[in-house]
Chains A and B, each alone.
Chain A
Amino acid sequence: MAERLLEVKDLKTYFYTAEGVVPAVDGVTYHVDKGETLGIVGESGCGKSVTSLSVMRLIPNPPGRIVGGQILFEGESVLDKSEADMRKIRGNHMSMIFQEPMTSLNPVYTIGDQISEAIRLHQGLNRQDAMAKAVDMLRLVGIPLPERRVNEYPHQLSGGMRQRGMIAMALSCNPKLLIADEPTTALDVTIQAQVLELMKRLKQEMGMAIMLITHDLGVIAEMAQRVVVMYAGKIVEEGDVVSIFENPLHPYTDGLLKSIPQLDTGKGKLHVINGIVPNPLHMPKGCRFNPRCPQATDLCKEKEPVFTQVAPTRYVACWLRAQEGLTKEVAS
């Protein structure tokens, strides 16, 4: 049995706006084991980024607030920690890389200053030693001439190098959990390949767990061991990566996989999920996917489906699949 690193139970993060309450994350339960990569997929606005910011307790308040649920990191409740304790955890035991490396780096400090700040803060090294460690980190993430680059400002680096710099910063204190929120979305394909290979290598060398948040199903397939699929603030499906891609249970996952053009699919019409993502101020009754679901029944329009275990590593929130799965299990 793998050791639990992070457990999120029934997490609810709401935003209180002038127009009403936005349930960005609405009762989400998942976990990350030590050393594994968990992929979280979903489209814009499904709550995948808010989930990860909640784990780091970085939700801007107001307007956002965690209104329910539990987050356990190494068995300790993150939500009950003081702000001072949180600061000791962030960047040290869990750290984060963001999508846009240009906006998440401070333009008036050199890349070396920014990396060594975390090292000095968390590991108590002096300025000189921290700078030397920063150079080591830059070398580790494959930046050429790290001794020179360490003194450069973000605008002097290319997009791929900035993202490497971010990764170097996030990894400088050997975190146990790395949260990567769309880490390669702003990068070109060949640079994306470099960064993904780097993350794989570092994960192996340092033994950390990764929570990878992305809308790119290709990236998930290459990186993750387990996958969580989110839709409109809820988890609709969870499972190991192979069964999610080869045997998707939820109609949303199924539709999503069919609608992406693949390098080996032929011409002709692409599969389409009709309609659009619901307005979070007016979530549909019952299953939130029911207005777009080709198989929706009356039950789906009335009652919210329960997140059900259908196989040892498979969970799904769908009335149709849950029943099928359960009957199958009984039969076997």
Chain B
Amino acid sequence: MSVGALKTPDPRAVTRAGAGAATAGATTVTAAGENLVDVQNLVKYFPITGGVLSRVVGYVKAVDGVSFFIRKGETFGLVGESGCGKTTMGRTILQLEEPTSGKVYFEGRDVGALSKEEMRRLRREMQVIFQDPYASLNPRMTVGDIVGEPLEIHGVATGKKKEERVRDLLDVVGLASYHINRYPHEFSGGQRQRIGIARALALHPKLIVCDEPVSALDVSIQSQILNLLEELQEDFNLTYLFVAHNLSVVKHISDRIGVMYLGKIVEMTSEEELFKNARHPYTEALLSAVPVAKPTLVRQRIVLEGDVPSPVKPPSGCRFHTRCWLAQDVCKTKEPEWRECAPDHWVACHLR
């Protein structure tokens, strides 16, 4: 890994959410050869409207100043609890949500500055696999139509050629080519997820955002899909952004991991380092909370008190201070800086 890659997300840009937007343009040093995706100081607020005039009365701060990067060919895992903003982050990178501020660079290009036509072409390169294989497939379309649709929309293939490509894709994801004329309801959950994967692969994307791809599946099916995703990554040179709440799954599949809490990434490092040397107290608590399938294992569990605060009014200073057992006065008033505490290990905590 080159040093250039590590430098890319500028730590200074993250210290203040608002100030970052202005400086982002000036600090763009994109090592295009290394990073597929560069996210700089990304902010996404959703307005809350109220009253008879539907005036904006507040904002849900779903993603609130996040910087990270995804290297070519790696799997970047994003973990966090419900409502921490991990799904919004994935959607904003894909430009399915327009960011409130901040930049997303894809292969060095500022995605936000692209024209509509350029964006349309870029969409081929980034695809998504959704959580719920029951809800993300149109029940009135055959498998052939579902998987072939992107080919047609982007004018890649039609007619016989399209059908041929669809059959190939079904084969690649472990379905049979005679499935082409069947409807989603004829398949089990695991098979449906394979259909979703085939559709995502249709246009030879470089990046696939996997949004909780296995959490709706049974344990014995989950491992089939995880293995498939790993095989495909090798065969097609894919880069994954893997969004999930299950730490064991994220650990298994990821090269690097970012831990999110209330719209911020609080820690980011390689999978090994995170599980050996977690620095942020939230990461520590999260790791210790995972139930382990070893009845003889005795371990000290950190049980956090209380619930995750509302993203509408996140706590001042460090957002985790209301539940942190180490919190000091400084944590309540000053937001911790996003810094590289060890090579390739980033953390936002005053104390660690």
Chain A residues with a Cβ under 8 A of chain B: 43-44, 144, 158, 160-161, 188-194, 196-197, 215-222, 224, 241-242, 245-246, 255-257, 259-265, 267, 269-273, 276-277
* Residue B81 lies at the interface, judged by CB distance under 8 Å to chain A: yes
User: A-B pairs with CB below 8 Å: how many?
Assistant: 122
6 more contacts with CB within 8 A, not counting A190-B289, A218-B290, A276-B221, are A189-B245, A189-B289, A189-B290, A263-B251, A273-B220, A277-B188
Pick out which of these stretches binds chain A: B65-73, B110-118, B300-308.
B300-308
Bound-complex Cα distance A276 to B295 (A)? 28
Q: Is there contact, CB below 8 Å, between A261 and B251?
A: yes
Given known pairs A217-B219, A260-B223, A272-B223, the reply for A158 and B301 (CB within 8 Å) is no
Q: Select from chain A the residue with minimum beta-carbon distance to B221.
A: A276
* Residue B291 lies at the interface, judged by CB distance under 8 Å to chain A: yes
Closest Cβ of chain A: how far from B50's Cβ, in Å? 17
Interface centre among B220, B230, B253 (most CB of A within 10 A): B220
When distances are taken between beta carbons in the complex, the residues of chain B under 8 Å from A270 are 223, 226-227, 252
* Residue B248 lies at the interface, judged by CB distance under 8 Å to chain A: yes
Q: Is there contact, CB below 8 Å, between A260 and B219?
A: yes
Q: How large is the interface on B (under 10, 10 to 19, 20 to 34, 35 or more residues)?
A: 35 or more
Q: Is there contact, CB below 8 Å, between A197 and B292?
A: no
* Residue B175 lies at the interface, judged by CB distance under 8 Å to chain A: no
When distances are taken between beta carbons in the complex, the residues of chain A under 8 Å from B245 are 188-189
Bound-complex Cα distance A262 to B222 (A)? 13
Closest Cβ of chain B: how far from A188's Cβ, in Å? 4
Q: Is there contact, CB below 8 Å, between A197 and B224?
A: no
Interface pairs (14), CB distance under 8 Å = A158-B307, A189-B290, A192-B289, A192-B291, A193-B288, A217-B219, A221-B291, A221-B294, A246-B296, A259-B223, A262-B248, A263-B287, A272-B220, A276-B188
Select one of B219, B285, B305, B306 contacting A215, CB under 8 A. Answer: B219
Q: Is there contact, CB below 8 Å, between B249 and A261?
A: yes
Q: Is there contact, CB below 8 Å, between A188 and B226?
A: no
Q: Is there contact, CB below 8 Å, between B251 and A189?
A: no
Select one of A44, A144, A189, A218 contacting B293, CB under 8 A. Answer: A218
Closest Cβ of chain A: how far from B23's Cβ, in Å? 34
Given known pairs A160-B307, A188-B308, A193-B301, the reply for A259 and B220 (CB within 8 Å) is yes
